[in-house]
Amino acid sequence: MQVHTVFGSITDYTKGTIELVSGEARHYVFSNVFEVAAKSRPYERVVVARNMEYVQEVMRADGVSPWFACGHDEFALCMDGEITVDFIRMKVPPSADKNGAVLLGDAPEGARMGHVKLKRGHQVLLGAGNAYRFTATRLGVLMQQTVLGDLSVQKWREICFT
């Protein structure tokens, strides 16, 4: 029998359901990363999961992103598309106690470290103190494990079952 593993994509996904017995659907804070990315601006960091200060953010990978940096480790998981990540070792990295990612200018100071090419299911380390920039060779979706920061966008009413 042929195996068929079902993955989602920004152009082909099916959102699940909640059958309630008691309580409220909004307590499950239920969304779908592909739907969120489909309705977001390019590289908007939309929070889809929050556990106190920790978050999972979804990005629509569309064209070239700004340069980002972070004082702590972050991780990006490519959920759809093909995405190149460029890295710069920053001369002056963000403080380690600054939570979440920050925006840098067009040309952050520092040495080019190289790049990583991601496809669906690939996870990359966005190491503390390194600047990073995404380039989508086709429309895609990224999920980032990080901490709530200045760039985190919370719009729960727009993305969740209520």
- Interface positions with other proteins (CB under 8 A): 2-8, 13-23, 25-35, 48-52, 54, 56, 72-75, 77, 79, 87, 89, 111-125, 127, 143, 145-147, 154, 156-157, 160
What minimum distance in Å lies between the beta carbon of 101 and other proteins? 12
What minimum distance in Å lies between the beta carbon of 27 and other proteins? 5
Question: Could you give the CA distance from residue 46 to residue 4 in angstroms, rounded to a whole number?
Answer: 30
Nearer to other proteins, 66 or 127 (CB): 127
Nearer to other proteins, 30 or 42 (CB): 30
| Dihedral angle, C-alpha 72, 10, 33, 162, nearest 10 ° | 150
What minimum distance in Å lies between the beta carbon of 64 and other proteins? 17
Nearer to other proteins, 64 or 120 (CB): 120
Residue with tokens 């556990």: 51
Residue 145: partners with Cβ closer than 8 Å, 6 or more residues away? 54, 56, 74, 75, 76, 77
The residues that bridge with 153 in the sheet, in sequence order, are 46
Instruction: Give 91's Cβ-side CA count (13 Å radius).
Output: 5
What minimum distance in Å lies between the beta carbon of 81 and other proteins? 13
Nearer to other proteins, 115 or 138 (CB): 115
DSSP conformational letter for 12: B
